[in-house]
Amino acid sequence: MTTPTRNRLAITLTFCLILIAGLLSRPEPSSPAPAAPADRLQINAAGATFPYPIYSKWFDEYHKLHPDLEINYQDIGSGGGIRQLQSGTVDFGASDMPLTDQLLGQFKDKPLHFPTVMGAVVPTYNIPGVSAELKFTQKALAQIFMGKITKWNDPQITGPNPGVKLPGDDIVVVHRSDGSGTTFIWTDFLSKADPDWKAKVGSNTSVNWPVGLGGKSNEGVSGLVQQTPDSIGYVELIYALQNHLGFGLVQNKAGAFLKASLAGVTAAAAAITMPADFRVSITDAPGKNAYPISSFTYLLIPSTISDGAKRTAITGFLHWMLTDGQKYTEALSYAPLPKEVVAKEMKQIPDIK
């Protein structure tokens, strides 16, 4: 081997070592947001996608009132919001489902739950020749999604729907394929409707579906339902309302068949006994007017915020969101919080230290 070759090898190896060292050394965690002007306070938040339209409206309106404060919200999904809050990369998070005890146990500083608005989920279906709004008992919905009821003319479906001629065709079940708060609400409801569902499938943002096709997002599910004869799926109430989709009535705890509406969702939230930490499921709520497939969506606020300016800003925003902010909800088809819940949340704001 001649000297130039050996030199070249040495140079190359050194170069590679530097490269590897550079790639391996982890950068120090830095603030993800670009530096704000000194007189402007920036707060970063991330989480659920379902309430994103109302949150961006709120943060925008609040910014108009307080030009020196800017809240950036990234709708990366509840799971991502919880993870980022845990690692401290955001100032607060947002989730469509309350944190489980197990998840809460992983936090050094337990976040507080602040319900913001409510959502609901509705069954949507496509049966050729049937234009009537079908009534579903809770048990029937669970059995359909379990794959136990396989024909549209099953007595459990025809029972509450006298006068509607249902075909003897196979039911095609459609569910969400992406992890979603909508799936959580739906499966939480099915778990209460049928103990068998609770034992075998359970509730989460994604579950091990016994039967059915998966569609991505509300659009995917409603697209599949509209295209596939004899299918049934579930979508968010807001999505169904904004796109003028037909949907079925669901029996509530009091026995009444109810078509989902914003008032029915608020009634469900008002009917439930609210625990001190707001972690509550409002599916299958009591009361004649309560729609049974409803849920809160939450902001997750750290219980200790060491930065005084940020603490003042966040508590100020919460106060505004629970009072003036609520008037923006119905224009965007979200059900507003009942008065009792607002009053209770107001009492939780001073707990942020």
Partner 1 sequence: MARLRAGDEIAHVITWAFAASVFVITCLLLYELWSACALPRHKFGLAFLVTSTWDPVFEHFGALPFIYGTLVTSALALLIAVPLGVGAAIFLAELAPPRIADALSFVIELLAAVPSVIYGLIGVFVLVPILRKYVEPALKGVFGYLPLFKGPAVGVGFLAAGVVLAVMIVPFILSISREVLLSVPVDQREAALALGATKWEATWKVVVPYARTGIMGSIFLALARALGETMAVTMVIGNDPKISASLFAPGYSIAAVIANEFTEATSDLYVQSLIELGLVLFLVTIVINALARILILTTAGRGTAH
What residues line the site for partner 1 (CB under 8 A)? 4, 8, 11-12, 15-16, 19-20, 23-24, 49, 76-80, 82-83, 102-103, 170, 172, 177-181, 201-209, 212-216, 220, 223-224, 227-228
Buried-state track 325-353, b at ≥16 Cβ within 10 A, e below 16: bbebbeeebbbbbbeebeebbeebbeebe
CA separation for the pair 142, 163 (Å, rounded): 23
Give 29-38's long-range contacts (Cβ < 8 A, gap of 24+).
29/89, 32/89, 33/72, 36/70
**Between 135 and 175, CB nearer to partner 1:** 175
Asked if residues 78 and 204 have their Cβ atoms less than 8 Å apart, the reply is no
| Cβ distance to partner 1 smaller for residue 262 or 299 | 299
- Ramachandran region of residue 202, left (φ > 0), alpha (ψ -120 to 50) or beta? left
> What is the C-alpha separation between 81 and 301, in angstroms, rounded?
11
Q: How far is the CB of 5 from partner 1 (least distance, A)?
A: 10
Q: Compare residues 96 and 345 and give the one whose CB is closer to partner 1.
A: 96
Would you say 62 or 209 has its CB closer to partner 1? 209
Would you say 130 or 213 has its CB closer to partner 1?
213
CB of 52 to partner 1, least distance (A): 13
∠ CA 313-314-320 to the nearest 5 degrees?
90
> 117 vs 36, 37, 74, 187, 191, CA distance in Å?
30, 32, 18, 20, 23
Q: Minimum CB separation from partner 1 for residue 68, in Å?
A: 32
The minimum distance between CB 144 and partner 1, in angstroms, equals 16
Question: What is the smallest separation between the CB atom of 155 and partner 1, expressed in angstroms?
Answer: 23
Burial of 302 per CB tally in 10 Å (0-12, 13-18, 19+)? buried
Say if strands 41-47 and 92-95 run parallel, antiparallel, or are unpaired.
parallel
> Are 234 and 186 spatial neighbours (Cβ–Cβ below 8 Å)?
yes
Q: How far apart are CA 233 and CA 213, in angstroms?
A: 9
Query: 147 or 246: whose CB is closer to partner 1?
Result: 147
Least distance between partner 1 and beta carbon 204 (Å):
5
Pick 123 or 220: Cβ nearer partner 1 = 220
Q: Closer CB to partner 1, residue 112 or residue 268?
A: 112
Nearest distance from C-beta of residue 220 to partner 1, angstroms: 7
In the complex, the smallest distance separating the C-beta of residue 109 from partner 1, rounded to whole angstroms, is 18
Residue 15 in 3-state DSSP? Answer: helix
